[in-house]
Amino acid sequence: MSGPTEGNNGSALRNKAKRQGEQPRQQNASPAGTKKRAGHTAQSAGAKKAGGAQSAAAPRVQRPATAREVALEALVKIEREEAFSNLVLNSALQHAELSRADAGLATELVYGTLQRRLSLDHALSALAAKGLGKLEPWVLQLLRLSAYQLLFLDRIPAHAAVNEAVAIAKRRGHSGISGMVNGMLRNLLRRRDELAPEAAAESAARPALRIALRHSYPEWLVARWIAAYGEAAAEQICAAGNAPPHASIRVNRLRATREEAIAILAESGIEAAKSAVSPAGVVAQRGGSLADTIGFRDGRWTIQDESSMLVAQAARPAAGMTVLDCCAAPGGKTTHLAELMGNEGRVIANDVHPHKQALIEQQAERLGLTCVEAVTGDAAELGERYSSESFDLVLLDAPCSGLGVIARKPEIKWTKSEGDIREIAAIQKKLINGVAGLVKPDGRLVYSTCTIDRDENDRQISQFLKDHPEYTLDAEWPAELLESLRSAGAVQGEFTGALQLLPNHFGSDGFYIATLRKRTV
């Protein structure tokens, strides 16, 4: 289960939008579910016409013509279908005929509105006579994305944001809705300072609530991070999750060097530099889509977050090994393992979804890797499918809450709950216990997640080591990798074999990696 790479294509577009009160993001500095969101999606049959649910659905726009309409359609779909924002937005932009500038605006509106939902609803609730719960979903999303422009974007004239919102309301609804939208947004303009997030945060009594209101996060999540990492770090994590994510590639060492990749990107108008974190990484500083390049098409690189790149490097695969990647789709870590093995040996890439087997195979073919064998199966049953002690290396990139990738998928902070984390941790425990017996003596088991929750990470591994005394943490990571991590400040003091990367460390995804060695008898 690789980290989300789809969001990288929108990073360059989104970086163009300047937000009020935020400094331009610098390279390598602090940085886009299954439960229904508390997003007021229910309709009320008895609601009044002015913003309430109508007896018939409002006319839908077949093909959104403006950046704001594209953003509105995407936001409605994300909440209605509980879909990942990056996938919905990428699809919407592919079908919309927008200029590059308008595509950038639509991207900023979608991610910004999702990120700042708590702050936006806090302000809008003060202006809605009957509250937000009875608004139709599209009306609520229109108000949110318009309020986001008024409160957080300083390059968009207020009158343009209000007028376009009213025009959209007229096209989609009726005069009562457009009048309500006009009135609420103009009232927000008059009370902008009073309803700004910082004003709300200053009146909060609890530290967790203050940080939650300032950065727009659920209070329970902030409180959890304060307990795990301290108040200062929790605020830095929240700030990092609201910043545009880096766009980065992992260079295929079998086909190119980082220097060659940077030169090829420059020919496509993309400025890039070596990653300070991953010895295999290159970070785009400005330019176009990394996927729409000859280097991507001919397999010289893969789009992957810097943190995600570290997993295969920490695993230390070698040529001739027999390797199992338990939750492999879409194949980012699988193919990295194969590259590090020099395409010599056997890498079995398992995923529970049959259609994802094709994704892994396509990745391997594009990169010229013939040692990858994609299979379909439940990771919980791998211990029954394969003989015990049959793999030199087993990678479990476990299903997780995804709390480390909020910058790429901001809807995650509204879709997850503490109950979800408990359920996911139980699944993780079952999976790691199930594959522990597949590792050969003196072989390695690597556990990774793209979350920063301790119950899914270090506490999970601590319990595993208690239950499996035949395993111990393995601190023998590649010297080049440890040097990069120390230089970036991610590793301090004695290294134990487990690494927790936070989003605020150097602008990449939050990730956990633990390498375990099985003792010989």
Binding residues for S-adenosyl-L-methionine: 327-333, 351, 378, 397
313: left (phi over 0), alpha (psi -120 to 50) or beta: alpha
Handedness of CA 311, 25, 140, 96 (dihedral sign): negative
Among 238, 326, 400, 450, the one annotated catalytic:
450
Maximum distance among all alpha carbons in the chain? Answer: 78
Fill in the DSSP letter of residue 9.
G
- Residue 274 to residue 332: CA distance in whole angstroms: 19
Tokens 């594009």, located at residue = 366
Strands 511-518 and 471-473 turn out to be antiparallel
Single-letter amino acid, residue 470: E
Helix (H) or strand (E) holding 271: strand 271-274
Kindly list the distances between the CA atom of residue 54 and the CA atoms of 45, 89, 136, 175, 183, in Å, as whole numbers in the listed order: 7, 27, 8, 13, 19
CB 268 within 8 A of CB 297: no
Partners of 396 in the β-ladder: 447
Single-letter amino acid, residue 293: T
End-to-end CA distance of the chain: 32
Q: 469: Cβ–Cβ under 8 A, 6 or more apart, which residues? A: none
Helix (H) or strand (E) holding 430: helix 418-435
- Residue 338 to residue 370: CA distance in whole angstroms: 9
Kindly list the distances between the CA atom of residue 430 and the CA atoms of 389, 404, 420, in Å, as whole numbers in the listed order: 18, 22, 16
Single-letter amino acid, residue 42: A
Kindly list the distances between the CA atom of residue 387 and the CA atoms of 224, 322, 362, 435, 440, in Å, as whole numbers in the listed order: 40, 13, 28, 11, 10
Query: Helix crossing, 332-340 with 354-366: angle to 10°?
Result: 40
> Is 450 one of the catalytic residues?
yes
Single-letter amino acid, residue 503: P
Helix (H) or strand (E) holding 283: strand 281-286
Tokens 């005929």, located at residue = 97
Partners of 347 in the β-ladder: 323, 372
Handedness of CA 124, 129, 135, 138 (dihedral sign): negative
How many CA atoms within 13 Å lie on the side-chain side of 125?
10
Q: Which stretches of 436-521 are assigned E, i.e. beta strand?
A: 439-449, 471-473, 498-501, 511-518
- Note the Cα 183 to chain centre separation in Å: 35
Give the residue numbers annotated as catalytic, written as ranges. Answer: 450
